[in-house]
Chains A and B, each alone.
Chain A
């Protein structure tokens, strides 16, 4: 007892010491940042601080090759700004939950990744630093693809700048296509439907290869809701995905699975996601983004595939766009250095290094042009989608809406309930939860 008491006591002492040490550190750098943070001449003031600062940057994990590229970009930054050290941390799982909890605890990173999907919620909570006062003319905001910047704006104030993006494109297996006698990729949903039936392979009752591999979740189906004029949510943040305009698009997705039996989700064939399903040859067509290209290159080298823009639905072009920004923690004590990092990473030089190998696509038009991705054989279709894509974002209530949508949509997709009933139920529950949380 006595021994363990002593151990605990000494542990507490050590923790106490460490805490005070941290605190001291923070106040120091605080004054440092405050000194440089006054008024107009930030650009010139920043490099004169010779006191070295360390800022933390948090993001989620990526493939080793992508991680190397980020490290290289960060190294370039540190060479350019020798007094700023970047401490990069990877949050491996449940990224947003961890970030939110750390922000509440006052231990948030100075700069972190933010998915457009979660941006409205965090902006509303007032935890992000508005960036407009930091922006200089050289940063050239107009160079960004407009929808990607808008995803991180509220009331015309920018809270983040997009580091990269991807839209969904149609990946199709060339070998499967020629075996089935299909010469060109489908350009309308009707063609996709017909082709998927031809491409589906069965052994007895068991499907060994689906014509179309689909992800039955809101993040991938939002543009289908919009194809007939439907909307995911209204101005007040209420769910509206069960409206008469929203259902026809979703019905197309469900029918391919339950009527034609020509589409399947990755889980049904034991794959983790669409790219894996496609790589394993268990789906001839999938809708995936840029991230699938390096994955297929490193895991399924011999796969013979091509990409095309998504087929039109109801005569209109549509796809989803996913984008991620660098944002600054409002509580950061090193805002000047944090801005230096953000402006470098989303600036022309940093973005060029970061997107140079095609793991991610540049959100700056000048960089995209320089790297020539719009003419790239595989990435061209993904870039082309940017002009008409639906960004994966809605009201700040989107997390609640998504949770309820996914929960019920899978059930319909599996053929356990009628689409209309399931969506009505999901919409009601979501709106009840939104109302109750007010």
Chain B
């Protein structure tokens, strides 16, 4: 571990590489986490199938690539298909758990995650897959820093998507209805907002956002039917750390997680990379709890 830190000190270019890679992948984490924040904030559903939506989106892009269509087209395709899929899941499952206690939604979506992972496995097989974008890889400092163009592109696309979602929330009728419902569902119903439709739209939007994140991940990382759970955990880490209804916070936390994961993997050794993510989840939860304690004491 100490040696690894020394390497970074001796050759800072590698920390640049690690941080950049972390940021590129962190952008997709942030996107998926924003979807979770939406669903959590608006309808109070903790969606544990988040990661499986991501992976499903990834498979859409990969499958198109297999058919000879450029996987970038997988981005709009994943958005559309996952939106429809989200609507279907809402109507069949989520609608019925919204008014139940929180644990119900957690467990129901866990069941959904199991079904999805196995469904993807049956459809596409269990191999690790990647969608080839065939874009160039740029390098500088005699190959010590390599940047794949597709990563930059994915990063930019994530940014554009985030901006679009924000504008949509601010400007459109539906966006306003979603925000109103999040603030006070009953009042929204009184004012004539069809909350059921709002919920359906929110959940579908989340699925679409995850699908988009997944399409990028398939091009810049790797996908496999059973990787869903780790993406779900990442989303939870980010949302718990940033709180929901706080888009800048989610983006920062997402990018930060990507970087921490990468640097941690370098410094502690790759075997700790997964443990770091889960460990962070625990740390964030405990930290939140301490904050709450303080609040409680202030009140009493």
State whether these chains interact: no
Residue positions of B touching A, CB distance < 8 A: none
Chain A interface (Cβ < 8 Å from any Cβ of B): none
